[in-house]
Amino acid sequence: MYAMKDKEFYDFLNEEVPINHNIQKHMMVTRNKLREYKRIAISYSAGSDSDCILDMVELVKPPDCGDIRYVFFNTGLEFDATLRHIAEVEQKYGITVERIKAKKSIPAACREHGIPFISKDVSDMLCRLQKHCFDWNDASENATLEKYGRCKSALDWYYCRRPPSASGKNTMYHISRYKLLREFLMAYPPDFAISAKCCDYSKKNVAKEFDQTFMPDLKINGMRQAEGGRRVGSIKNCFTSVRANNVASYRPLWFWSDADKQAYKQWRGLRYSDCYEVWGFKRTGCVGCTCNSKAIQELQIAGQYEPNKVKAAYTVFGKSYEYRKAYNHFKNQNKKIKKET
pTM above 0.95, yes or no: no
192 pLDDT more than 70:
yes
Phi, psi of 336, rounded to the nearest 5 degrees:
-65, -45
128 and 161 part of one domain: yes
CATH number for the domain that contains residue 206: 3.40.50.620
pLDDT of residue 228: 60
Same domain, 66 and 93: yes
Q: Measured between alpha carbons, how far is residue 243 from residues 64, 217, 246 in Å?
A: 25, 10, 5
Q: 23 with 172, same domain? A: no
When pLDDT is cut at 50, 70 and 90, the band that residue 138 belongs to is confident
Residue 207 lies in a domain: yes
Verify that 17 and 67 share a domain, yes or no: yes
How much is the pLDDT for 152?
Answer: 86
Residue 336 falls inside a structural domain: no
Q: Indicate whether 334 belongs to any domain.
A: no
pLDDT value, residue 241: 86
Identify whether residues 126 and 272 lie together within a single domain.
no
pLDDT of 168 > 60? The answer is no
**Same domain (yes/no): 92, 148:** no
149 has pLDDT over 80: no
pLDDT value of position 151: 85
Among 240, 258, 277, identify where a domain stops. 277
List of E strands, the chain: 39-43, 67-74, 97-101, 218-220, 239-240, 248-250
pLDDT tens digit sequence for 205-235: 999 999 999 999 999 999 998 776 555 556 7
**What is the span of the domain harbouring residue 18?**
6-105+201-277
Query: What's the rounded mean pLDDT across residues 175-182?
Result: 93
Residue 236 lies in a domain: yes
**Amino acid making up residue 316:** V
Per-residue pLDDT band for 113 (boundaries 50, 70, 90) equals: very high
What letter would DSSP give residue 240?
E
Is the same domain home to 15 and 100?
yes
pLDDT in tens, 231-283: 555 677 899 887 656 789 999 999 999 999 999 999 999 999 999 999 999 98
Q: Do 45 and 222 form a contact (C-beta atoms < 8 A)?
A: yes
Residues 314-339 have pLDDT tens digits of: 999 999 999 999 999 999 998 767 66
- Domain boundary among the residues 189, 212, 242 is at 189
Tell me whether residue 291 is in a domain: no
Q: What is the mean pLDDT of the chain?
A: 90
Q: Are 224 and 193 in contact (CB under 8 A)?
A: no
* In a shared domain, residues 232 and 175: no
99, 34: one domain: yes
> Residue 317 falls within a domain, yes or no?
no
Q: Which residues contact 5 (CB under 8 A, 6 or more apart)?
A: 62, 63
Whether residue 242 is found in the same domain as residue 176: no
Dihedral sign computed on CA atoms, order 76, 82, 86, 91: positive
**Mean pLDDT for the stretch of residues 101-121:** 94
Whether 311 is in a domain gets the answer no
The reply to whether 216 and 88 lie within a common domain is yes
- The residue out of 189, 213, 242 marking a domain boundary is 189
Q: Are residues 161 and 219 in the same domain?
A: no
Picking from 127-131, 152-156, 273-277, 316-320, which range would have the lowest pLDDT averaged per residue? Answer: 152-156
Query: What percentage of the chain exceeds 70 in pLDDT?
Result: 91
Note the pLDDT of residue 43.
Answer: 95
- Please count the structural domains in the chain: 2
CB hemisphere CA count around 161 (13 angstroms): 11
